[in-house]
Structure 1
Amino acid sequence: MPFPFTLPTTSSVLLSDFLKSATHPSLPLAATTKRSVLKDALKKHKRLAPRDRTAHLPIVHDAVASYIPYLLALNAASGFGDVGPERVDLGVKKPLEVEWRSTLSATLPGREPPRPKLVGLHHETAFTLSTLAYTHSLLARSQLRMLQEATMLSTEQRTSAVSAAMKHLLEAHSIHKYLLSLPSVSAAKDVPADIQPSTISALASIALAEATLIVVSKDDPYAAAVSDDRNESNKDWMYKAPSIPKVRAHLFARICLAAAEHAGQAQGLLGPGKIDADLVKYATDLRRTARGKAARFLAIDAELSGKTGEGLAWLQGARKELGLAFELKDGQRKGLKGLKQSWQERREDKRVEKGGEWGMDAGKLEEARVVETLEAKWDKENSTVNVQLVPPYEPLLASMPTGREYHSPQPYQPPLLDAQTLALMRAPPDPEERAFRGDEEDSGGEEYGGRKSEPVGAFPGTSQDYGRSGTGNSYY
């Protein structure tokens, strides 16, 4: 959690071949340079090892953020609109043709997602803004990764990480909503699944659900205690018990239920078959995690009121919402399903440790650990100290309260070209000036490790001069 989006890549395009401006002739050339920088950043990001991509995300963010003002200026001028205080006259030589990698479309296993050819400036705008939203979600993942690791964090560190991640997720939600407000995007037909209105709306709901769900993370001492308990270097258990302060359990439960509603909306909008199966499964697991967490907080609320039996019933309901079908006996998992759950948790721990695609279950396995820890502890106390009957959990789940919204998302304010920069575009470009086309070739490898190595002893950048083919390293 959040979803590990794959950033799309794009082809090289000379915008001045498609667009011309009588009032600001340098604008298409300057926009081409900014776009080429973005193209290079995306291709370099895709070739990096998974552990190195996190450090490269700010570079991608700066590249796409620098290109957006120029792109939106072209988009506004193409619709006979003003760019800030100025009137920009933009003519179309021929329809713009670009290629973007469709990373959210369903593809056969082992095959690269397609890179369809798109016609129109509005498709370029949709993919560029979507890329910015994906980058914010990935930056939120980088902040939350420390919470998933089995390391001890102070309250200040946990709060800082959650607050930064929340800010990124709300920004991603606002960008998706802004895309839906563009008439050319919301009315587009026959477009890749990535920029279809239903997909963009689902991604906005997922981002808001994630931002809502992590509200309780900074004030959830139970999840922190379970994480510290798994840390082998933690020796606090030798001299003190974990401190569990009282929480506003009922309020947290309603916040989690609001997150579940948003995830449910995304689940309904992501139709199977066209969208990547991992994203569809993630939306389903996100809803399960939110409802399971809500049931767990209602269990805590009941236990704090002295109703241990009802609390245990709520925990059983939480396991039902999380989809855990195995039974617990003396705090231990039983049966093949319990072994499968333990194996999945070990795999997830290794992904977190190695920096891979962790969190594909939307935090469901981590929440299951917290529920099982509380259930084992309370069941032991209920069996030895205060014996209370455990009622059935079905009526309790049916009586869940309504969700309560926590965030009031602000509309996205796209960056615009300042008046001074736009005024400089009035000067005609130098006839010998050429737009920066980027260092990355369109036919170059995009996969991790796909860069062609230089022949031994060759001067850097002259590999094409050696051998009969530029695709291999053999001299013969």
Structure 2
Amino acid sequence: MPYPFVLPTTSSFSFSSSFACESHPSLPLQASTHRGVVRDTLKKYKRLPPTSQASSLPTVASALQTYLPYLLTLDNGLSRQSAHPSEPSVTLTAPPRIEWRPTLTNSPLPGRELPRIKVHTLEHELLFVLSTLAITHTLQSRAALQPLYLTTTAPVGTAQRQTAITTATRHLLDAASIYNYLCARPPSAQQQLSPCPDIAPATLRAMRSLALAEATLLAVLKDDPYPAAVAQARNPHDTEWMYKSPDVPKVRAHLFARLCLAAAEHAAQAAAGLASSSSSPSTPGSSGKVSEGLLRYVEDLRRASRARACRFFGIDAEIGGETGTGIAWLRAGLGEVGVERKGGEKGVGGLRGLRKEWSERREDKKVERGLDWGADGGRLEETRVLEMLEAKWVKQNDTMLTQPIPPVGPLLAQMPSGREIHTIKPFQPPGLDPEVLEAMRAPPDTLDEIGNYPSSDEDVAVDSIPGAFPGASAQARSGTPGYF
């Protein structure tokens, strides 16, 4: 956790070819220039090895945030949202033709990238840019959390752990704020059918719920000592071989359980939104559906959140002296993550045990290499904690307490509702400084000729005029004789 998203890529585009601004003639050129920086940054990021991509995320976020004020100014001027006479008034001269390669849509051919889709409105361009910025924040959250899951180095200290979780939470709430802003835009902005599920209204609402669910779980992880204890036990570089058994106060255990249930509710809302986006119609001729990996992740996150809630209910019962009830809650949590306990079964052995050990080693390798670790929504991590506590409590109950273990069904029926902890702050759209806007009243010094590269995935320049070769001058392409 969070989900290992892939950043989209885009083609180059000249705003002067589709938009005119008589009051601020330099605005389209400036927008094209900053969009070109975004395109090049996304291209360079995509070609970096996975181990180096995390360090480039601030550069991607900076390029998107620098481009956004120009794009929003164009969009406001085109829709006449500003009543100030000093604000630009933009005119549409021709339908724009912009290409984006979606990354949340399922590819029809396994192992192949999805073909680029064409965007013909400034609204869809804005949706792609803002959703890309939100994905960047989510990836920055992953980068902050990665050191907590490494088993090839010494465990991080308490202060570093708290700082990493706080930073990751801030990025997730920033992503949720952006998605909330996109969902709250005027209804006219959503009237046209989305070209792909990536920017469909249902998908944007689902992504907001997903970011909020992940941020809620991080609020629990910040004060949850059990995952760190399990990671220390598995880390060969841990020199603190003897440490105090983790404990959670009774009141906080019940509070954490309700927070986990709130996260599960948000994950369920995200799953419903993504399913709706997959079944809703898009642009005529398009039949894209949401990525199966993302759908699995959201469902796994929901199940892991409910399992974590069961664990905290079990901790609450064990602190109160009801070890048998605590064991029942642990087994309810194991059932949520797909691990069934039958009769007196206490562990996993044989072929299942080997398969489990292999899965854990593969996940550790993914964390070390910075690949798609955590794509199971935290199910493996929660399973480790539940099995550790179950083995400890069952041994204690068999040798000392001998309390009966009640059935799981009635316990699950008594689950309370979730409790919220985060409030999404309103996203403040960035605007241009008055000095910068006033300077764009001057005519541009150069022509807006950005647009030779069709996509940020490609390096070869392609000219739209048949027969022209890359690098040819505008005069040679037009056929006009030169004078020397």
Shared fold by TM > 0.5? yes
Indicate if the aligned counterparts of 1:326 and 1:337 stay in contact, CA closer than 8 A.
no
2:156 to 136, 153, 157: 153
Give the equivalent residue in structure 2 for 1:180.
183
Against the structure 1 CA distance between its residues 143 and 436, is the aligned structure 2 distance closer, same or farther, given a 3 Å change threshold?
Answer: farther
Which moved further from structure 2: 307-316 or 272-281? 272-281
2:307 counterpart letter in structure 1: G
Matching residue of 2:98:
98
Out of 442, 446, 450, the residue aligned to residue 454 of structure 2 is 442
CA distance in 2, matches of 1:400, 1:283: 21
Give the 3 Å change call, closer, same or farther, for CA 329–357 of structure 1 in structure 2: farther
Q: How is 1:270-349 mapped onto 2 (pairs within 5 angstroms)? A: 270-271=274-275, 274-325=289-340, 332-334=347-349, 336-349=351-364
Question: What are the Cα deviations for residues 386-417 of structure 1, in whole angstroms up to 9, with x where unaligned?
Answer: 11111111110111111000001111111111
| Amino acid of the structure 2 residue aligned with 1:213 | L
Q: CA shift at 1:362, angstroms? A: 1.0
Query: Retained in 2: the 8 A contact 1:85–1:419?
Result: no
Cα deviation 1:272-329 (Å, max 9, x = unaligned): 5711000000110010011000000100010111110000000000001111236697
Q: CA shift at 1:6, angstroms?
A: 0.6
Shift of 1:378: 0.6
- Asked if the contact 2:27–2:440 (Cα under 8 Å) also holds between the matched residues in 1, the reply is yes
Q: 1:434 to 1:242 in 2, by over 3 A?
A: farther
Instruction: Map 1:213-292 to 2 at 5 A.
Output: 213-237=217-241, 239-244=242-247, 246=249, 248-271=252-275, 274-292=289-307
> Which residue matches 1:48?
48
Gaps of 5+ in 2: 279-287, 461-469, 472-484
> Which residue matches 2:3?
3
Q: Classify 1:218/1:72 alpha carbon distance in 2 versus 1 (closer, same or farther; 3 Å).
A: same
Cα distance between partner residues in 1 of 2:449 and 2:248:
58
The DSSP-based 3-state class of the residue aligned with 2:110 is: coil
CA deviation vs aligned residue, 1:18-44 (integer Å, no higher than 9, x gap):
111111111000000000000000011
Deviates more, 1:104-113 or 1:119-128: 104-113
Quick one: which of 143, 147, 166 aligns to 1:163?
Answer: 166
Matches within 5 A, 1:61-210: 61-82=61-82, 86-107=86-107, 108-150=109-151, 151-182=154-185, 183-210=187-214
Q: Distance in 1 between matches of 2:63 and 2:328?
A: 52
Partner AA of 1:125 in structure 2 = L
* Separation (CA, whole Å) in 2 of partners of 1:137 and 1:84: 36
Q: CA deviation at 1:186?
A: 2.9
- Normalised to the residue count of structure 2, the TM-score between the two structures is 0.88
Native 8 Å contact 1:18 1:92 kept in 2: yes
- Relative distance call for 1:214 and 1:436 in structure 2 (3 A) is farther
Partner AA of 1:162 in structure 2? I
| Pairing partner for 2:425 from 396, 407, 410 | 410
Change (3 A) 1:328 1:64: farther
CA contact (8 A) 1:325 1:337 kept: no
Deviates more, 1:81-90 or 1:370-379: 81-90
Distance 2:122 2:423 in 1: 31
Alignment-derived partner of residue 27 in structure 2: 27
Partner in structure 2 of residue 470 of structure 1: none
Match of 1:99, SS state, is strand
Instruction: Give the counterpart letter for 1:67 in structure 2.
Output: Y
- Contact 1:309–1:388 (8 Å) recurs in 2: yes
CA RMSD of superposed structures (Å): 2.2
- CA distances 1:241-263 after superposition (whole Å, capped 9, x unpaired): 44545361000000000000000
Gaps of 5+ in 1: 453-462, 465-476
The TM-score, its normalising length taken from structure 1, stands at 0.89
Matches of 2:416 and 2:449, distance apart in 1: 57
Matches of 1:194 and 1:310, distance apart in 2:
44
Query: Which amino acid in the other structure matches residue 188 of structure 1?
Result: Q
Contact 2:14-2:449 at 8 Å conserved across structures: no
Q: What is the total number of aligned residue pairs between the two structures?
A: 447
